[in-house]
C-alpha cells in the first residue's frame, strides 16, 4: 500500500459524505452494502461463498479496505509522489536506526506508539519488517500492538519498556513471569501500579542485562513506604546483569546475585527503605566489577543521623566514576568509606548546605587527599570555574530576595586529552548559597585542599563574586598558570588583585619577583565580555561584596593598566584575544598593542562612535542585581585614582 493511499484511508474512515460521492464510480455490491450501513462500530455479515457459516468483519477494517479499493486507480500517481518525498527515499539502514530510537523511547509518550511508523508508507513498512531487532521492543500501549510485536519478535531476547497502568499491568506481569528471554527492562510507574510487580522484579529473568525502574513521586509528596522488604539472595548468580538504575524503589531490588554488575545508580530511595551503613557497604563490596556508582539522595540511613565514621573502607578496583548528590555530611561519610582508584572520576553535587560550616572543610580535605595521592600519576592541568544565578538578588524593598540562588561549579581536568573532568564539584542551588560569603568560603576551602601547583589553564565563566582580597590569596598557589580564559561576567576582583600586585613590583628598582602573582602567565582570552563593565566593591565588614558600592573603572581599561605594569616588570604577555565582546574601544586596542606580542580581536563589539578615554562622562555598566530602580549607590573610579598617584 502506498503512503498516499494509507493516509487517505485514515482520513476517510469517518466521512460518509465522501463515500457517497465516490459511490457512482463503482458498482461493487460490497461497497454498496458499506455505504448503506450505519457509520457506527457495527459488524457486517458477508454472505458465504461455499455454504459455510457467515464470517464477521469489523466495520472499521472494512471501510479501510473499501477506501483502498476505491482509490486503486490512483496507485501509480501516489507511488510517484512517494518517490519524490525525501523521507521515503532514505536508505533502509538509516530508517532502521531511526526506528530503533523511536522504539526505545516511545513508551514515554502515552498517546503515541512506535508501531505507528510502520504505517507511514510502503518503504517505511518494508524497512521496519526487515529490521528484526526492532520487533524485540514489545509495545504495551495496546493489546493488539503487544500481540503484533510478540509475534514478530520470533523468540529474540525481548525488551520490556512500558509506562505501567491498570490496562497493561497484567500483561507486563505475565511477560515478566513467562517470557523465556528478556534483554532489558525499563518501567515507569506510580507506587500504586508497581505493587503487583515488585515480587517478580526481585527474581528477574536470567537473561536480563539492564534494569531501570522509575517510581514517580506521589502527588502529595509524602515519603514512599513499601509494605514489605525482603531480598532474594538465594539462587544462582546472574552474571548477565550489567546496568541497574532505581528511582524510589525498595533497596531490596539491588540483589547480591548481580555478580558482574558494572553500573549501579540509586535515586531518591525512600528513607524507610535505606539500609544501615554496614549493610550498604557489605552489599557494595560484593560488586567487584563495578565501574560506575551513582547515589542521588540514596545514602545509608545512619549517615543522615550523624553517626561518626565506622572506620571501614572498601576497595572497588574497577571503579571509574563516583557520582554523589546530597548534603555535605552525607558526601563526607560515604567518601570516607570508598577508595577511588587513581584513574577514577569524582562527581559531587552538594545541594544542601545546612551543615556547611561544620563539615565542608572535611569534604574538601577528603577530596583533596585523593588528588594529592595521584598528583604524580595524573596531575591536574585545567581548572574551570562556572557561576550561575537564578532570579534577582533583591526585592523591590531592596532586601535579599528569598528566591534568589546561585550555583558554583568547579571542574578539574588532567593533562590527557580526555574531555571528561577528573573532578566535577557543584555547590547549590541552596538557600545558603544566596550569600556571596558562602560561595567564597566554599571555593577557598576547595582551593586550599587541592594540589594546584601544576595548573596550566584557569577558565572563569560568568563568575565575578570573588573579591580582590580573596583572589590575591587564591592566585598565589598558581605558579605554573599560563592561560587565563574569561567568559561572560568579567571578574573585576581577579583583575584588581593582579593589577595591584604588578604595580607594587613595577615601581621597585630591585625585586626578585618571588611574590609576583602568575609569573608564568602568557595568554589571556576574553569572550562574550562587556568591556565597559564595572565591578563590585568589598564590604568593610569582611571579604564579601558590597552591592551598594560600585567601581566605575571599566574592565578592559583595568586589564590594560595591569598589562602595562606587567610589561615594566619584564613579563610582557605573549597574546591577548578579544572575541564576541562588546564596548571595545579603538584607543584601548591601540594601547594594548604595545603591551602584548600578539593582539587578536574581531569587530563585532568595536565601539565606533569616536574616541573614548578614561575621562569620558560615559559611566561603567553593571549587570542587573535589582528588579526595579536600584537604591542610592556609591561610585568610585579606582583606576583614575590609582593613575593620579603617579
Give the Cα-Cα-Cα angle 563, 565, 566 (nearest 5 degrees). Answer: 60
Residue range 82-123, pLDDT digits in tens: 666 677 777 888 888 888 888 888 777 766 788 887 877 778
Cβ(446)–Cβ(364) below 8 Å: yes
For residue 172, which of 203, 141, 151 has the smallest C-alpha distance?
141
Q: What is the pLDDT of residue 458?
A: 95
Q: What is the pLDDT of residue 71?
A: 52
Average pLDDT, stretch 525-535? 92
For residue 586, which of 609, 615, 561 has the smallest C-alpha distance?
609
Q: Tell me the pLDDT band of 580, cut-offs 50, 70 and 90.
A: very high
pLDDT(633) > 90: no
Q: What is the pLDDT of residue 407?
A: 94
pLDDT(423) > 80: yes
pLDDT(527) > 80: yes
* 38 contact partners, CB below 8 Å, separation of at least 6: none
Q: How many CB atoms lie within 10 A of CB 546?
A: 16
Q: What is the pLDDT of residue 112?
A: 74
Residue range 162-194, pLDDT digits in tens: 888 888 888 888 888 888 888 889 998 888 888
Cβ(294)–Cβ(318) below 8 Å: no
Q: Do strands 596-601 and 535-538 pair parallel, antiparallel, or not at all (unpaired)?
A: unpaired
Q: Residue 541, Cα to own-chain centre: how many angstroms?
A: 38
pLDDT(306) > 50: no
Q: Do strands 55-58 and 43-46 pair parallel, antiparallel, or not at all (unpaired)?
A: antiparallel
| 559 or 27, which is more confident | 559
Residue range 232-262, pLDDT digits in tens: 556 688 888 999 999 998 888 898 889 899 9
Beta-bridged to residue 616, according to DSSP, are none
Residue 261 sits at φ, ψ, to 5 deg, of -65, 135
User: Alpha-carbon distance 463 to 407, whole Å?
Assistant: 10
Residues 551, 553, 556, 560, CA torsion sign: negative
Q: Residue 167, Cα to own-chain centre: how many angstroms?
A: 33
Query: What residue ranges do the domains of the chain occupy?
Result: 3-84, 88-209, 505-644
Beta-bridged to residue 549, according to DSSP, are 634
User: Alpha-carbon distance 239 to 369, whole Å?
Assistant: 35
Q: What is the pLDDT of residue 488?
A: 94
Q: Tell me the pLDDT band of 608, cut-offs 50, 70 and 90.
A: low
User: Alpha-carbon distance 70 to 50, whole Å?
Assistant: 26
Residues 478, 482, 488, 491, CA torsion sign: positive
Name which of 67-71, 256-260, 564-568, 583-587 the model is least confident about.
Answer: 67-71
Angle between helices 3-12 and 75-84 (to 10 degrees): 110
Residue by residue, what is the 3-state secondary structure of 267-325?
ECCCHHHCCCHHHHHHHHHCCCCCCEEEEECCCCHHHHCCCCCCCCCEECCCCCEEEEE
Q: What is the pLDDT of residue 273?
A: 83
| 323 or 72, which is more confident | 323
* 641 contact partners, CB below 8 Å, separation of at least 6: none
Beta-bridged to residue 350, according to DSSP, are 326, 427
User: Alpha-carbon distance 82 to 59, whole Å?
Assistant: 28
Specify the DSSP element, H or E, that contains 523. Answer: strand 523-527
User: Alpha-carbon distance 596 to 479, whole Å?
Assistant: 20
Q: Do strands 423-427 and 405-414 pair parallel, antiparallel, or not at all (unpaired)?
A: antiparallel
Residue range 7-26, pLDDT digits in tens: 333 333 333 333 333 333 33
Q: What is the mean pLDDT of the chain?
A: 80
Name the DSSP letter for residue 237.
-
Residue range 136-148, pLDDT digits in tens: 888 888 888 888 8
pLDDT(324) > 90: yes
Residues 227, 230, 235, 238, CA torsion sign: positive
In percent, the amount of the chain with pLDDT more than 70 equals: 79
Residue range 363-422, pLDDT digits in tens: 999 999 888 888 888 888 999 999 999 888 888 877 888 888 899 999 999 887 678 899
Residue range 190-222, pLDDT digits in tens: 888 888 888 888 888 888 899 999 988 877 666
**CA Rg, the chain, in Å?**
34
Q: Cell 515478566 appears where?
A: 176
pLDDT(554) > 80: yes
Give the Cα-Cα-Cα angle 581, 404, 460 (nearest 5 degrees). Answer: 35
User: With DSSP H G I counted as helix, E B as strand and the rest as coil, what are the percentages for the chain, rounded to 5?
Assistant: 35, 20, 40
User: Alpha-carbon distance 125 to 142, whole Å?
Assistant: 19
Q: Tell me the pLDDT band of 430, cut-offs 50, 70 and 90.
A: confident
Q: What is the pLDDT of residue 207?
A: 86
Residue 284, C-alpha cell as written in the block? 557494595
Q: What is the pLDDT of residue 459?
A: 96
Residue 42, Ramachandran bin (φ over 0: left; ψ between -120 and 50: alpha; else beta): beta
Amino acid at each position: 500500500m502506498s503512503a498516499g493511499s494509507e493516509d487517505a484511508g485514515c482520513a476517510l474512515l469517518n466521512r460518509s459524505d465522501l463515500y457517497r460521492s465516490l459511490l457512482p464510480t463503482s458498482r461493487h455490491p460490497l461497497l454498496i452494502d458499506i455505504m448503506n450501513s450505519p457509520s457506527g462500530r457495527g459488524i457486517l455479515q458477508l454472505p458465504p461463498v461455499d455454504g459455510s457459516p457467515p464470517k464477521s468483519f469489523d466495520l472499521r477494517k472494512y471501510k479501510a479496505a473499501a477506501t483502498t479499493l476505491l482509490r486503486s486507480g490512483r496507485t501509480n500517481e501516489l507511488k510517484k509522489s512517494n518517490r519524490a518525498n525525501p523521507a521515503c527515499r532514505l536508505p533502509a539502514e538509516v530508517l532502521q536506526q531511526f526506528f530503533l530510537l523511536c522504539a526505545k523511547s516511545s513508551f514515554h509518550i502515552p498517546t503515541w506508539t512506535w508501531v505507528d511508523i510502520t504505517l507511514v508508507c510502503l518503504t517505511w513498512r518494508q524497512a521496519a519488517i526487515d529490521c528484526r531487532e526492532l520487533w524485540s521492543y514489545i509495545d504495551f500501549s495496546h493489546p493488539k500492538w503487544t500481540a503484533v510485536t510478540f509475534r514478530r519478535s520470533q523468540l529474540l531476547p525481548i525488551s520490556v519498556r512500558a509506562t505501567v497502568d491498570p490496562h497493561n499491568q497484567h500483561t507486563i506481569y505475565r511477560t515478566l513471569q513467562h517470557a523465556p528471554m528478556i534483554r532489558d527492562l525499563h518501567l515507569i510507574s506510580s507506587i500504586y501500579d508497581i505493587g503487583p510487580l515488585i515480587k517478580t522484579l526481585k527474581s528477574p529473568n536470567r537473561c536480563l542485562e539492564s534494569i531501570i525502574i522509575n517510581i514517580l513521586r506521589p502527588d502529595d509528596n509524602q515519603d514512599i513506604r513499601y509494605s514489605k522488604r525482603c531480598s532474594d539472595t538465594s539462587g544462582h548468580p546472574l552474571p548477565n546483569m550489567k546496568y541497574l538504575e532505581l528511582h524510589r524503589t525498595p533497596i531490596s531490588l539491588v540483589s547480591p546475585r548481580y555478580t558482574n554488575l558494572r553500573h549501579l545508580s540509586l535515586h531518591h530511595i525512600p528513607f524507610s527503605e535505606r539500609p544501615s551503613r554496614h549493610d550498604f557497604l557489605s552489599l557494595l563490596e560484593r560488586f567487584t566489577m563495578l565501574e560506575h556508582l551513582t547515589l542521588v539522595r540514596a545514602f545509608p540511613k545512619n549517615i543522615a543521623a550523624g553517626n561518626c565514621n565506622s572506620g571501614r573502607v572498601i576497595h572497588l578496583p574497577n571503579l571509574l566514576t563516583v557520582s554523589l548528590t546530597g548534603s555535605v555530611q552525607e558526601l563526607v561519610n560515604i567518601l570516607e568509606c570508598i577508595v577511588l582508584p587513581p584513574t577514577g572520576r569524582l562527581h559531587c553535587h552538594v545541594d544542601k548546605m545546612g551543615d556547611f560550616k561544620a563539615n565542608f572543610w572535611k569534604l574538601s580535605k577528603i577530596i583533596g587527599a585523593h588528588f594529592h595521592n595521584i598528583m604524580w600519576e595524573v596531575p591536574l592541568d585545567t581548572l574551570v570555574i562556572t557561576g550561575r544565578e537564578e532570579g534577582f538578588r533583591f526585592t523591590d524593598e531592596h532586601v535579599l530576595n528569598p528566591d534568589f540562588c546561585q550555583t558554583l561549579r568547579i571542574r578539574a581536568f588532567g593533562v590527557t586529552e580526555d574531555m571528561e573532568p577528573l573532578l566535577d564539584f557543584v555547590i547549590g542551588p541552596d538557600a545558603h548559597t544566596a550569600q556571596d560569603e558562602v560561595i567564597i568560603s566554599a571555593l577557598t576551602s576547595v582551593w586550599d585542599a587541592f594540589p594546584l601547583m601544576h595548573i596550566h589553564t584557569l577558565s572563569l565563566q560568568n563568575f565575578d563574586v570573588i573579591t580582590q582580597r580573596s583572589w590575591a590569596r587564591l592566585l598565589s598557589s598558581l605558579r605554573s598558570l599560563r592561560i587565563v580564559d574569561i567568559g561572560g561576567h568579567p571578574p573585576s576582583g581577579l583583575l584588581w588583585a593582579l593589577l595591584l600586585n604588578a604595580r607594587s613590583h613595577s615601581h621597585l628598582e630591585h625585586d626578585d619577583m618571588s611574590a609576583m602573582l602568575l609569573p608564568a602567565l602568557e595568554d589571556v582570552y576574553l569572550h562574550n565580555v562587556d568591556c565597559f563593565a564595572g565591578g563590585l566593591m568589598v564590604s568593610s565588614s569582611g571579604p564579601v561584596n558590597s552591592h551598594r558600592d560600585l567601581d566605575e573603572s571599566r574592565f578592559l581599561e583595568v586589564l590594560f593598566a595591569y598589562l602595562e605594569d606587567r610589561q615594566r616588570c619584564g613579563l610582557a604577555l605573549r597574546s591577548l584575544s578579544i572575541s564576541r565582546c562588546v564596548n571595545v574601544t579603538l584607543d584601548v586596542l591601540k594601547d594594548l598593542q604595545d603591551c602584548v606580542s600578539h593582539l587578536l580581536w574581531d569587530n563585532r563589539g568595536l565601539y565606533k562612535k569616536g574616541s573614548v578615554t578614561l575621562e569620558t562622562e560615559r559611566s561603567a555598566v553593571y549587570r542587573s542585581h535589582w528588579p526595579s530602580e536600584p537604591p542610592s549607590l556609591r561610585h568610585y573610579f579606582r583606576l583614575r585614582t590609582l593613575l593620579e598617584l603617579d
